[in-house]
Amino acid sequence: MLDAALRDRPDAEAVLSRSGSLTYAQLDAQADRAAAGLWSLGVRPGDRVAASLPNDQDVVVAFHGAMRIGAIWVGIGEALAPPERAHLLDDSKPAVYLTAEDNPLLDAMADAPEAPAVEIDVHAPAGIAYTSGTTGVPKGIVHSQHNLLLPGEVLVASRGWGPDLRKGDCLPLTILNLMVLTTLLTAQAQGCCVVMDRRDADGIAEWIERGRVTVWNGVPAQLHDLVTTKRVDPARLRSLREVWSGGGDCPESLRTAFEDCYGLSIRTTYGLTEAPTVVSIDPVGTERREGASGQVLPHLEVSTGDGEGEITVSARADGDWAGRWRPYLGTWDGHGVAPNRDAVLATGDVGTVESGWLSVRDRLKLLIVRGGANVYPAEVERVLLGVDGIAGAAVFGVPDARLGERVGAVVEPSGGVRVDVATLREACATALAAYKVPERFAIVDALPRNAMGKVVRTGLVDLLAASGGSDT
């Protein structure tokens, strides 16, 4: 992974984080120590290494160490509630679990002998990315090292990036897609990965200025905050050449306001955990199409059938990148990989492709994207239905100018049972990450249902409003 940079620029900065910086030579040495440390802790090829670590050097070094011995990386978000973390650990069954409070790798790196050379199969499982399914149970998407390296290779080549790339990311690196778009991508350009540990407007500006960031990836809520805050001097963002928006829809009004404020055109993207990462992105420069999520990357073939239909992804059949893309390996079933035998990825989203530009119109799934974070209704509904006296629950996205969507819930108590919002909120806050907890509740006599007894979801936002949905 680092060979080219070690040959050409060993003393160049590879990683900058709150703890300091690492050159490529230092990152290589630290990765070797991490590999040795993991080996001394009993980790072997195919074993899982789980990590719930903050954005800093440790998470980058541990990831590279795991890859060098053929282990399988499992990122577990720090924001997850204890029951959510417990489920992911029970499913992945890691040999080692690294947290900010308990990181056995740190001591092991100091004392471990050198790890043996391990022959890496680049098409073997290398990472598990958990994403909630429509059933409400997190699903582990498994990728190989080949899959994890390809997006960076394509982006570096297609965007003309080189050693002057300084890419900053403030989203959690425990997200596997973020590892792909940070240390892996920047190493392929021989640039610098700037690991940002603040997500507020002032903190983002501080990191961009301090790290001389040239490319920054944020979610619409953060872009909104940068536009509306009065404290961020545009001069602090002067190093930026590209600003990406991912994790949700970016309204045209926000794109215009950001460009007016900072003189930068937001580059919108469309990405998938299953891809992994970016499927389409606006080209370098200022060219864009209203309502589109950029141009399809050259290693992919994206189709929506005739006209507007479900978006599918497959390998490009011609050109320089022909046949390079491979589907995700499968899903982790608690013991191993349940193979994915489909050559075409059905995304569950609906849209159009015109002259290479992808426009995503809607979601077949019921996914709520709140400030760039994914919330699946079934996951929240499962918690609400576990509260005594609840007969039915429907969770959905409520449009919001800043976050894109907020989480709303309409709840149906059993006949004659009185339920208060505080009880519902407490149940959710105990079992779920804070961003998944509904912010508005309505308690109704009966949810609208069809002849099959399923909740009719059209009109739920209006029902919430008409019921005087409470946010307290």
Split into its structural domains, the chain has a count of 2
Are 203 and 209 in contact, with CB atoms under 8 Å apart? no
Residues contacting residue 300 through CB under 8 Å, at least 6 positions apart: 275, 279, 313, 314, 315, 316, 325
Residue carrying structure tokens 């469309």: 270
- Check which CATH number belongs to the domain holding 415 and give it: 3.30.300.30
Residue that terminates a domain, selected from 301, 332, 363: 363
| 183 located within any domain | yes
Q: Which residues contact 272 (CB under 8 A, 6 or more apart)?
A: 279, 313, 345, 347
442 has which bridge partners?
Answer: 410
Q: Which residue has the tokens 């030579």?
A: 25
In a domain, 471, yes or no: no
Find tokens 């992808």 and name the residue: 358
- Please return the burial class of 344, using the count of CB atoms within 10 Å of its CB with bins 0-12, 13-18 and 19+: exposed
- Is 415 part of a structural domain of the chain? yes
pLDDT of residue 241: 97
Q: Are residues 173 and 300 in the same domain?
A: yes
Q: Do 204 and 179 touch, CB atoms closer than 8 A?
A: no
Crossing angle of the two packed helices 252-262 and 220-228, in degrees rounded to 10: 50
| 380 lies in some domain | yes
Look-up: residue for tokens 């790196």?
A: 109
Closest CA to 176 of 138, 131, 128: 128
136: in domain: yes
Q: 209: burial class by Cβ within 10 Å (0-12, 13-18, 19+)?
A: middle
Looking up residue 133, the CATH number of its domain turns out to be 3.40.50.12780
In a domain, 100, yes or no: yes
Residue pair 13/21 in contact (Cβ under 8 Å)? The answer is yes
C-alpha 94/C-alpha 105 separation (Å) is 14
Same domain, 78 and 135: yes
What is the residue range of 456's domain? 368-466
Give yes or no: residues 351 and 377 share one domain.
no
pLDDT at residue 133 in the model? 52
- Give the C-alpha separation, 174 to 312, whole Å: 27
Q: What pLDDT score was predicted for residue 468?
A: 73
Helices (H), 9-79: 24-40, 57-68
Domain end point (choices 363, 394, 420):
363
Last residue of a domain, one of 363, 388, 407: 363
Task: Quote the tokens at residue 360.
Answer: 């995503």
Whether residues 268 and 320 share a domain: the answer is yes
Residue 134: what pLDDT?
Answer: 47
Mean pLDDT of each 10-residue bin along the chain, 472 residues long: 97 98 98 98 98 98 98 95 94 98 96 94 97 72 98 98 97 95 98 96 97 94 86 93 84 88 94 96 92 95 88 96 97 95 94 93 81 89 91 93 95 88 96 96 90 77 83 50
| Residue 234 burial (CB count, 10 A) | 12
- What is the rounded distance in angstroms from the CA atom of residue 52 to the CA atom of residue 301? 34
Tokens 């953060």 correspond to 222
